[in-house]
Chain A
């Protein structure tokens, strides 16, 4: 936390938020990495692409539920 700011000015993601953010970054990176190694088969490509979008929505909903004031 920057010393010059009040404690609540720049709140980085913590706890569950950090976990969700880190997990999503890993999944997104894995998707890109897998395509760089070898293009996915049709079924895998569709499932993983749709899965990444659905997971983003799920993670956002979890965060909204967890991150009360």
Chain B
């Protein structure tokens, strides 16, 4: 454990907690706790959007995916940002006019329906919990190399700190933590990108150990043993240790495989068009990489032992879609379910942003619609800048020589370590703050759903302002505890993959209901409720029955899954719309306006 790393990490955590304590007195009323009195400046709110949205999935997950599979991870960046176009042009301003504290407020404004209040709250809770899982997993992934603690300690630490942030000052402290985190994240990612370009690309021909059957026998090792049906051979070396070699494209070529313990730092360029480059321009970086050969490492298991084998990949292959198992179907000819899966994921990312409750409640923290628009534009600019940088960060990590092939989530911090330990400590602390910012927003949304939507509005409890805030704080603690448990349970999954699920559920359950409540005059309360419940049930059910869940969660064969592709949005979003229209048309009710419907 590096003392400097610990000091920087503790400084970040203590500063965050101190800020929350300082701001605590501003959030004693429900208006202050849930919406920061609607007095947040639009510029601060814009960067707080970035702090809220750029989660562990964006920073750790996407960078990791690009570092391991190239361009495929960048598809997530494109989809995540595109979703903000829906938020800005369609949802932002009407939502501000119609809501007060929560997502369900805006849905229910026209109807004054207890059903909508409950359905909106359930949806908020489920989507927030789904989104919380990858954040907690990311926290656990960070804490191990940073402080040397096991995964569950990182999860517990985030859970406790975030719960304190939320309980102390609600949306006020959450906003400032997110603002600081968003600004720091974009600034340090820009710095890292500058360093990547300044360092350029370095050729490492020795990154892969080559041999041939003749050479191995000349070393006097035991005779080769071919692994049945797989391109590997086993060799017992001079010291009596077992070595595994992969047979190359040419049968006379053998590439040395390594176990995770032997292979601590990878990520090299085996061949560059004209040797080491020196500093590169932003576009020149891609041009040189396009003509190079990169060494990636893939995992294989033989007789219960996992090891990694090198894969020499042309740069031109790294910079186009379809290298990862998730998107490999894009390179197939004609129709394939993998292509439908890709289409469905991109639809979920596009529609999901404008239906994430923790993002939507941020619209209530500014004064008016003009501030909403301006803060969204600041958010899009800062988030867009970050997503452009992810491509450099991921590719920089792929070629930095410090990558851990067993942990894709650590790619960005390890990239920083390739420059200096101080930068590693700073980036890790910022990544940790990234988790804090997003988790605090999610817990705020969930606590609002419990205290405001369910207790006060659905159950009709006559709560004073003080009691409502106290109930919200109790709910925040409960959600924090549940999130910690889930973070430990799902610790081995890539965080970007997990966030894809949350977007599918949010887009299926919330977006159809929100759009139709805002813009379709014939929508009814029953239609809205049915749409939310059907969207929730079908998207969750589809995910639980998908090949990805079968293989990565249940440990079963993906081919045994009953649904043909893993991302449900392409089916469940239209289904949710259809259900809303049909139920509304079949059961028209007179619209009842709530007493405070006039803004």
Chain A contacts to B: CB under 8 angstroms = 1-6, 8-13, 17-18, 20-21, 24-25, 28, 31-32, 35-36, 39-43, 45-46, 49-50, 52-54, 56-57, 59-61, 63-64, 67-69
Contacts and interface: CB of A to CB of B under 8 A. Distances in A.
A39 B322 contact: yes
Nearest to A68: B370
Given A9-B94, A46-B286, A57-B380, 18 more contacts: A2-B591, A5-B110, A8-B599, A20-B89, A32-B346, A39-B331, A40-B320, A42-B71, A42-B318, A42-B319, A45-B319, A46-B391, A52-B81, A53-B81, A57-B381, A57-B384, A60-B85, A63-B373
Interface in B244-300: 286, 290
Contacts, number: 144
Contact of B376 (A20, A40, A60): A60
A36 B331 contact: no
Most interface-central of B77, B84, B89, B339 (chain A CB within 10 A): B89
B78 A61 contact: no
Given A8-B97, A9-B98, A61-B381, A50 B350 contact: no
Nearest to B84: A56
Given A3-B521, A36-B339, A60-B381, A41 B320 contact: yes
A24 B384 CA distance: 15
A11 B85 contact: no
A53 B339 contact: no
Interface string B386-409: 011001000000000000000000
A11 B77 CA distance: 29
A21 B369 CA distance: 18
Given A4-B591, A24-B85, A41-B316, A60 B94 contact: no
Contacts of B98: 9-10
B78 A31 contact: yes
A52 B82 contact: yes
Contacts of B331: 39
A25 B90 CA distance: 12
Interface of B: 71, 74-75, 77-78, 81-82, 84-86, 88-90, 93-94, 97-98, 109-110, 286, 290, 315-322, 330-331, 339, 342-343, 346, 350, 369-370, 373-374, 376-377, 380-381, 384-385, 387-388, 391, 518-521, 523, 591, 593, 597-599
A39 to B, nearest CB: 5
A25 to B, nearest CB: 8
B391 A42 contact: no
Chain A, interface SS category: helix
Contacts of A18: 89
A60 B380 contact: yes
Contact of A2 (B286, B520, B599): B520
A56 B320 contact: no
A43 B377 CA distance: 29
B93 A4 contact: no
A53 B320 contact: no
Contact of B377 (A1, A6, A60): A60
Most interface-central of A1, A35, A68 (chain B CB within 10 A): A35
B573 to A, nearest CB: 14
Given A35-B321, A53-B77, A53-B387, A9 B97 contact: yes
A44 B93 CA distance: 35
Given A4-B110, A39-B330, A12 B384 contact: no
21 contacts: A5-B110, A6-B599, A9-B97, A9-B599, A10-B518, A20-B89, A24-B85, A28-B82, A31-B78, A40-B320, A41-B320, A45-B320, A49-B71, A49-B75, A50-B391, A52-B81, A53-B77, A53-B387, A56-B85, A63-B373, A64-B377
A31 to B, nearest CB: 7
Given A4-B110, A9-B599, A49-B71, A17 B321 contact: no
A6 to B, nearest CB: 6
